Structure 1
Amino acid sequence: MKVLIVDDEPRHRRGMANMIHALRPEDQVLVAKDGAEALEFVRSEKPDVVLTDIRMPNLDGLSFLKLLEDEGLRTKVVMISAYNLFEYAQTAIRHGAYDYLLKPVDAEKVEDVLRRLEDQLAAEFRQHSESEALKHRLSLTSSAYRNGLFLSWLNGSLTDTERQELEALEEMQGSGMVVFSEFRFEPGPQAEWDPAAWLRRLEQAWAEFGEANTFSLNAPREDVCQAVTIVRTSRPAQERKLEIRQMAASLGTEWAKYGRFTHGIGPDCRSLWMEAPQAYRAAQTAHQYNFHDRWEGIVFQDELLSVRDPVLPDGEKLFEALQGRDAEAAVEMCRAAFVQLAADGHAAPNLIKECAALTLMKIKSRIRDYVDRRIGSVLTHSALDEVPSCRAYTDLMAILETRLREVHDAIRQSQSDKSERIVDECLRWIQENAKEELTLERAAEHFFFNASYFSTLIKSRTGKTFSDHVTEARMRRARELLAANRRIYEVAAECGYQDTKYFCRVFKKQNGMSPEAYKHTSFPQRSGEG
């Protein structure tokens, strides 16, 4: 081993150097008079072990130890002091000292600590060699094997052997973050698409924030590629959100001609090896919230807020709006309800989809007695197939709005068909009851309508008023009876007129001649026919 002795007392330096030469003749011994000189030796000579005093001019032993830690110099340090102070020992151990010896130093203790250090250095060398060999092996193996190892790790299904292999890798150590990324293709040809280039570019982009390792989560399909990136970094993602969003936006623009990039970022990991699998699952969950446009393609898990229980659109009010003249009232009611439900992008996508499906099924149940069954089948298909497969909130709302307009049109058509039937039934009823006193109020009550609405309905469907239809029905009956040579007062009574003179005036106005004249013109003709 190469051993450096640091002490400001020349006598102590010589004594310690002679002791080590006697105990371990094969070791190389260097000496330094203070911490500053020792630091230069460590940088240039890279000794395996440093035995240093604490109280020294220029740079004391504890400050020297702290600088070694700050610069990442991994030499083993044993502190030697004449002061048996707990505070010194505690500070030394906190900054990475291997041991703490008291002066005067016993030769057996020095020999013991050097032997233990030699054993530890040998073990660390073997471990480092094995780690380097494993990294080389992994670099030579297929990407499928490497992906399989990482996936098994993230999914918690590693074997003991695989766990040992991965745990030995340097990139598994330290702090960092886990990113779940998805690229969804736009419809169209993808002849220029190179999955390997996509993964390399993704890894390169995340390497701006630390040591990045990206691997595929699925075999590239026609519509989507997924990947996970593990970024080893000491700086929390929370402190770099703006930079990360800018990078993601730039990456999205770069690949926009092929499709859309989205990302989910899990919580910061103090230990990647211990916490990354859980952070990976959190990143997947966060990614689902890209369903909402407001996140612009990247969601940090720690930005998601809890939301209160959902409130569905009022089914009865929605159905009432669907029966109105304009579908927009129902559409706007639905939009407002789902904007509130979405909670500015914090509501879980599956929850919103469930509410949308339930809304459609409630509408189906409410309209089953009003519209054709085909509309009900369309609503069922949307609730069970289209809504669950929606990738974006805007797509979901487009489906809902389309179905609402279709239902509105179907209800309007049903109302129109029903109105036609009611008007036809009303005209038959008038004809059958022409002898009775017929009023608009009586007819409306008979057909369960408001009198004003019923009057408007008849006029809009036939172009004539209710009174016009009553008069026409009575005149048809009157002509039949007069042609049968019935007496005029009998005809008037049969047609609902108690006043014969009034009947005659109405008849003449409608037919251009008096009942008597009509009777005489009609009767000879019928006699001739006989």
Structure 2
Amino acid sequence: MYTTLIVDDEQLMLRYLEKNLNLLSPDFCVTGIACDGLEAIELLEKQSFDLVITDIKMPEMDGLNLAKYIGDTCKHTKVIIISGYNDFEYARTAIKYGVSDYLLKPISDNSLVETLSSVKEYLKEEAKNKHSPTRDYASHFTNEEQLKNTFLSAIIKNNQDDIQPLYSFIKNKDMIFTKSYSCILLLSIDDLSLLLYDKGIYYSSYRYELVRQCQLYCKNHDIGFTYDSEGYPILLITEDSEDQVLLLANSIYKDIRDNSWDNNQVHITGAIGCLVSDTMKLSHSYITAMESFALTLKDVKSPISSNHFFSYQNFIHEVHALCEALYYDYVSKNNIKAASNMLLYVNLFEEKINTASILKYGSYLIRYVSRKCNIKSQFIRCAFNELMKGINQIIVADAIDKKHAQELLLQAFKALDHDKILNTLPEASRLIENAKEYICTHYEEQISLMSVADYLDINPTYLSNLFHKVIGEPYTKYIARIRMEKAVLLLKSNPNEKIYVIAEKTGFVSAKHFNHVFKKFYGVTPTEYIKG
């Protein structure tokens, strides 16, 4: 599934693509939406996207400048531009910035499907060149262990380009990859114990250490091993009978759990996927193991078995459905819907609501949405820190009920979308003062947020955040307010001045636009204002 960011200031187009992209091409999933280029950059700094579909004409930053930014900073992200302008210069600039395709409005479903198909093939080829071993397997792999682990990884990731040649190579060498029955053992750090042990500070180093220890254990015990994109260790358990597989999986889990950390403060959770007799179905065993982690919310003892998975399928389905709904709320930035869905999520708590249950359910939701949207680690940490901050406030207030739990989880959930943390206040205040000074001396010119940011030598997204945080309003509203204040002074000092002259002196390209903005601010036209 390829993650996709939609960027368009037209709400109809934005919502159409958001709701229909996956239907038109099931390989693409919308994991972010933005109304202009600057919003898109904010998301690109927080999440990783395989594809960006952007309109060309937007306020603040247009599609071409966004494409240039992506080409400079996100080398592996593909860009499709949608434009209502059949202009050769636009197309030529788009090609210069490495845009994958340039579609003219109104776009048809067929043309979009065709373009997405081309992008998919490009992404597949790029991933194959980046991750796949060379086709000269005999010289590439130095031992059977490396070959088997690569084959396991290809199966889990469903990488068809590698599965067939690796399978043939293993068969030709008479290697035994799996016995009669197999399953996947998936391991993870228990977030609840980690949050409590480290007092709310989330360290990814624990996860790297778990992968390292599992890798070493599997090497010493001749067990197939790989890990997924989230860093979950994946162990291949295979034996000649179903009972032997389960006994071995339990034994391996206990060995790794008991020898991971001396202080025993950080716990290891494990989930055993369904048993399979067909090697190619190991990906299904991996999926059931991953979904079984939802049962940590019910305190099912690790390692969670496939029997637990089938016994609690209704609960797993409910958790998955609500996490999917909240993930969609995150993408669409629908805070009202998120609040109602969060209350439904809190209603899943079966035990009395307490700090432990809030931490468990909060951690699971943060992980779920972060995994779906490829959210970067620093923003995941923000969400965990917000979760712990809320827990500490509840402990101090000594008050906890469903409403408190809903509000707390909602705050942690929203923290995934928080703006980048600003630098120290003195620096922020200094930059804003310099920006205000520049605007007040250049308001009569066609200055944009980018031109002010260039003058200050800072990132435009960072400057946009500063306006929101320090001044309390976006840049566009601030400069419009300054221009209106200057316009009123000019009108008062010279009531007989032509309106188009006032418009020019306050940075407007036309008297019509000036009149429109003036009436929006003061409720009357400039002429009516002078008469009044």
Fold agreement, TM-score > 0.5: no
State TM-score, norm by structure 2.
0.30
